[in-house]
Amino acid sequence: MENTEKLRQVFAESLEIDKNKVVDSLEYNSIPEWDSVAHMSLVAAIDSAFDIMLDTDDVIDMSSFGEAKKILAKYDVEF
């Protein structure tokens, strides 16, 4: 639960959107704030917040907030 909040905070800050907009169904490119530039900034923020280095496949598969949680689980981040 704690990590869900942490990830939600990272999303809200990187995309500069309200935290309550960060829900599982929030998708890449579905809002102007989440474009490719924001995506790279988001990836860097996740890397540093969770002290990991996302793989190529994970960077390009991270197409929604829900997907991001699934991907992070592979890096032993518990939700």
Partner 1 sequence: MSFFAELEHFSANTAAIDAHGTPYRYGELVDAADTFGRALQTDRKSLVFILCRNNIETLAGYLGTLRAGHTGVLLAANTDRGLMANLLELYRPDFIWGPSDRGGDARFTWKGYALSAGPSPREEAIHPELALLLSTSGSTGSPKMVRLTAANLEANAQSIAEYLALDETERPITSLPMNYSYGLSVVNSHLKVGATLLLTDASIITRPFWTAFNDLKATSFAGVPYTYEMLRRIKFFTMDLPGLRTMTQAGGKLTPEFAREFAEYAAANQLRFFIMYGQTEATARISYVPPEQAVEKHRSIGVAIPRGELRLIDGDGNPITQPGVDGELVYTGPNVMLGYAQSSADLVKGNELNGELHTGDIARFDDDGFYYVTGRKKRFIKIFGNRVNLDEIEHYLKGRGYVSVCGGRDDLLCVATTEPGKVDEIKKLVTATYGFHHTAVRVAEVAEILKSASGKIQYERIFEGMLD
Q: List contacts with partner 1 (CB under 8 A).
A: 16, 28-29, 32, 35-41, 43, 55-56, 59-61, 63
Closer CB to partner 1, residue 4 or residue 21? 21
d(CA 4, CA 78): 9
Closer CB to partner 1, residue 1 or residue 32? 32
Closer CB to partner 1, residue 4 or residue 41? 41
Residue 57 corresponds to which tokens in the numbers above? 């496949």
CA angle 24, 3, 69 (to 5 degrees): 35
